[in-house]
Structure 1
Amino acid sequence: MSSDPQEPTPHLFCSLSFHDLAEYPTQYVDGNFLAVEPGQDIGSGELKHRIFAKLGYGSFSTVWLVRPVGMKSTEEGGWRALKILKANYSNASQEVESVNAVKNCNVDVAGCMDTKDSWLEERGEKTYLCLLMKLSGPSIYEVMESHPSWRRRCLLAKNVVDMIAKLHHGNIFINGQNFTSLVDFRSANILVKVRDEVKRYTGDMMMARIKSKPENVRQIFTDKDGKQRYETPTPPIPKRLYENASFLKLADVELTLEVIDVHQDGPENIVAAAYASPETLQNKPADSKSTIWTLGVLLCKIFTEYYPFDSYSRPCIADDHKTFFAQSKEDQREKFIEYTDYARYPWTRYVFNPTRQERVVDLMMRIFVQEPEQRADLASIIEMVDEIVSEEPGESEESEAEAEAEAEAEAEAEGQEKSEESEGEETDEVETDEVETDEVETDEVETDEVETDEVEGQENSEHPEEPEEPEQRDEPKGPGRSEEPARLDSSSLENNLESLNIS
């Protein structure tokens, strides 16, 4: 940014961030986040890894897909997730201790298990803790955005309840600061495991299956007359941000879950507002019944695709709670009946029927109670969830399950074909010198073209056009229903990495 004191304060803009598909560029101001990108090497010695794609982001970190430097694109395995925490936040010992505390409850954690898999990246006076973790799949949030079938929702619900039960047994609760560890237990931090074979993918196979999209960050200056000009941001703010790569089609068939964000002595407001119980928002002591409330939010989202209280700030959520509790029981019940109305909305028609609707509404009414001691206990919730998911599937649901299995098999076969085509191309290169020579010459031409495109892109980024106002999305169709964000056309990560000379 400009150091001229007369300069107006710039505004940072990236369309991915605007649509909640990437972290906000302001998180990089003053070096709070470490700017990295695909194609970059990070770490040193045996811990030196190459970044291939962005997997996720949060308030305190970004997560990236990495492999050890030196591995060829045809070699199998080596895939890890790299979590880069914000500057001067936490330390490896605390992170590992918290992860192991949850793991000891027989709950799978996608966290750093050993301090040997961690290091510090130094940038001036800032240090960034880097943690190597096992590779995981999509979050519950991403799964729900794909509008899954009733069968898959039931799998998620049973697995979530099972995870909570294990945490309770280990005396680890989601809310409150008087317990051993804190789990940031929102849908974005509960991950579905990837299938075992995914971890053995070659570089070519992985790049054939995942997509990501970069978008330029623009630094916008507005003068006193209202005129705007645009500049490319300077470090520590990155020139571009990346959309998360999707592992939705690579998820474990049984939707087995693991948590990713585990903290010890975490921040005061670690629980997201939408998941926080009334007593938590009022800074009152929290206990296991506060966890029941958070579990209820998750189950409501899984079964109905709605959050029961969906404002954007803690004060607004607290007001929503007050409004809800001021209503009669009949009106409260009507809220959840509307969420599960199998006749009103087309997306609920193939999910709910009268029996399911009544059972889900009963479950919500037993959980979302103002006084913690009056909420259903965990044993009752387990019993009620079992009743909901044990109903025999209808004919349409069985057909849907079969279609899901066929789609997964087709996706796997398509990826295998792409991998075999890539291996066939390498075999052809070895067969004759003439072919090899021709391909080298072609590569040189393509490289020149890529370099030319990069130069043109750099020139354009120095004088970007004024960003158009983002297209307004349609109003939600139904009470609080968030439609899937419009995905912009994604470019192949493989092409991006080739332009960065990654083998």
Structure 2
Amino acid sequence: MSRVKVRPPFLHRPPPLYYIEDVEKYVPGGYHPVDIGDVIGTGDQRYEVIHKLGYGGMSTVWLVRSYGDMCSHFALKILRADVSDASEVSVLQHLQKSAGTHPNVVTLHDSFKVSGPNGEHQCLVFPVLGPSLHSPRVADALPGPTRYQVCCQVASAMAFLHYHGIYLTTSNVVFELSDVQSMSPASLYQLLGSIEAEDLKLPNGSYSPHRPKRVIQTPDFSGLDYSSLSVVRIVDFGEAFFTERPPQSLGAPIDSFPPELCFGYPPSTKSDVWQLACVLYTVHAKVPMFPTFFRIFGILVGTVVGYLGPLPQQWKGRFMFDEYGYQEPGKVPNETDPAWWFEDKHSDKSIDSRLSQKAPHLSARQRGEYVRLLHDMVAYEPEQRLSATDVVERLRSAAFLGE
């Protein structure tokens, strides 16, 4: 297996509108060029693009309305052409047919494929949803009781998915927007913010057929009262998988990456529970539980050890350097587990001390209950962690409700 060379992120970036998306990915096999006013779809199911909602490494998401219908708004997710895996569609269709709906799991309204200059793209149509749970504005605005309810909702959604044989990552959680369907275009723009765009021309001044003519800024939700947000939904199933077909690894954010995967364990529902713990912590503390500023898994493991103590002795020598090691340019890699990962040494770091600083809205009793819950969710050995159903039951217990 070839070594993965992980590079730290750039410290300096160009002006914001030019790195909204990696424009180099607007090439054959990449993103689908889209502009405001475009009509996308097939047959009777066509949608007019009226704003941009977001983007990721594998897709862009647009605010659209049913063509010819001013009041039926949706979120249109267009996958890159080189994303041939239809697992997200399979998972969502499985949930629709076999599991029904859950108030905190997004539902698929429509799906189809379109062809463009960069290839064929899978398109998924969802209800319109709002800002991410991880938005700084959300983190600052949510009242304490809402934070608790969000924790319950995300845990309940995960328990529902696990019951129906779906594993996922919980990094993409967003809030519902009320009354979107009844809004006029003017009211929508007032809520989302005006469209900001920059031309995307080639050096000779012409436009490439493989790229959009403009790069569109995502909305700033300048007209939204963030303190009124209350209901969340899990929306991204690009990393989801069925129980009987687990992948070799996960594309989870580094801050919530389950460390056992670096030591040869396969992804599982208990990997999900580790990530859920990271979400619950961040909801209250507004910062990651295990902050890792570079995507270097050795740093992640060291950070986890600093808060949870030494790794299990049986993990010695099992770190997968070929998959998760970091090779510093020009230096011979060290492929030996650091001894201090397994040494029982005193650390001044603790989840409790950070929560007391970062989550003053929690009472001492509530904080103590959260600390105990989180520790039971991030046990090193996956089989020792709580299930998602256990987490829901603990969150709904009298200790958390203040009874």
TM-score, structure 2 as length reference: 0.73
C-alpha displacement at 1:280, in angstroms?
Answer: 2.0
Cα contact 2:170–2:272 (8 A) shared by 1: no
Q: Report the equivalent of 1:370.
A: 380
Q: Report the equivalent of 2:355.
A: 340
Query: Are 1:112 and 2:108 matched, yes or no?
Result: yes
Equivalent positions of 1:199-348 (< 5 A) are 199-216=181-198, 234-246=208-220, 248-249=224-225, 254-262=230-238, 263-264=240-241, 268-311=249-292, 312-315=294-297, 316-324=299-307, 325-326=309-310, 331=347, 334-342=349-357, 348=359
CA distance in structure 2 between the aligned counterparts of 1:246 and 1:38, rounded to whole angstroms: 17
* C-alpha spacing 1:145/1:379, structure 2 compared with 1 (3 Å): closer
CA distance in structure 2 between the aligned counterparts of 1:219 and 1:46, rounded to whole angstroms: 33
Pick from 390, 399, 404: which aligns with 2:401? 390
RMSD between aligned residues: 3.5
CA distance in structure 1 between the aligned counterparts of 2:160 and 2:124, rounded to whole angstroms: 25
- 1:471-497 CA distance string (max 9 Å, x none): xxxxxxxxxxxxxxxxxxxxxxxxxxx
Pick from 11, 21, 37: which aligns with 1:39? 37
Cα contact 2:31–2:80 (8 A) shared by 1: yes
Matched residue type, 2:102: V
Q: Report the equivalent of 1:438.
A: none
**Any idea what SS the aligned residue of 1:382 has?**
helix
C-alpha displacement at 1:255, in angstroms?
Answer: 1.1
Cα contact 1:273–1:313 (8 A) shared by 2: yes
Cα contact 1:120–1:129 (8 A) shared by 2: yes
Matched residue type, 2:90: E
Pick from 24, 27, 33: which aligns with 1:26? 24
Equivalent positions of 1:445-460 (< 5 A) are none
**Any idea what SS the aligned residue of 2:129 has?**
coil
* C-alpha spacing 1:232/1:353, structure 2 compared with 1 (3 Å): farther
CA distance in structure 2 between the aligned counterparts of 1:216 and 1:23, rounded to whole angstroms: 12
CA distance in structure 2 between the aligned counterparts of 1:65 and 1:118, rounded to whole angstroms: 16
* Percent of paired sites with the same residue: 22
Q: Report the equivalent of 1:462.
A: none
Q: Which has the larger radius of gyration?
A: 1
CA distance in structure 1 between the aligned counterparts of 2:271 and 2:279, rounded to whole angstroms: 13
What residue ranges of structure 2 are gaps of 5+ in the alignment? 1-11, 311-342
C-alpha displacement at 1:144, in angstroms?
Answer: 3.6
Matched residue type, 2:347: D
Matched residue type, 1:202: S
* C-alpha spacing 1:320/1:257, structure 2 compared with 1 (3 Å): same
C-alpha displacement at 1:31, in angstroms?
Answer: 5.1
* C-alpha spacing 1:237/1:194, structure 2 compared with 1 (3 Å): same
Aligned residues: 345
Cα contact 1:110–1:133 (8 A) shared by 2: yes
Higher helix share: 1
Q: Report the equivalent of 1:96.
A: 89
Cα contact 1:363–1:381 (8 A) shared by 2: yes
- 1:290-341 CA distance string (max 9 Å, x none): 2211111111111211211222315232343345433759737x43233222
CA distance in structure 1 between the aligned counterparts of 2:206 and 2:378, rounded to whole angstroms: 48
Q: Report the equivalent of 1:185.
A: 170
**Any idea what SS the aligned residue of 2:265 has?**
coil
* C-alpha spacing 1:107/1:252, structure 2 compared with 1 (3 Å): farther
- 1:349-393 CA distance string (max 9 Å, x none): 4x133223322222222222222233234454334423564127x
C-alpha displacement at 1:207, in angstroms?
Answer: 2.5
Matched residue type, 1:137: G
C-alpha displacement at 1:289, in angstroms?
Answer: 1.9
CA distance in structure 2 between the aligned counterparts of 1:212 and 1:317, rounded to whole angstroms: 39
TM-score, structure 1 as length reference: 0.60
* C-alpha spacing 1:14/1:213, structure 2 compared with 1 (3 Å): farther
CA distance in structure 2 between the aligned counterparts of 1:251 and 1:200, rounded to whole angstroms: 21
* C-alpha spacing 1:331/1:356, structure 2 compared with 1 (3 Å): farther
**Any idea what SS the aligned residue of 2:108 has?**
coil
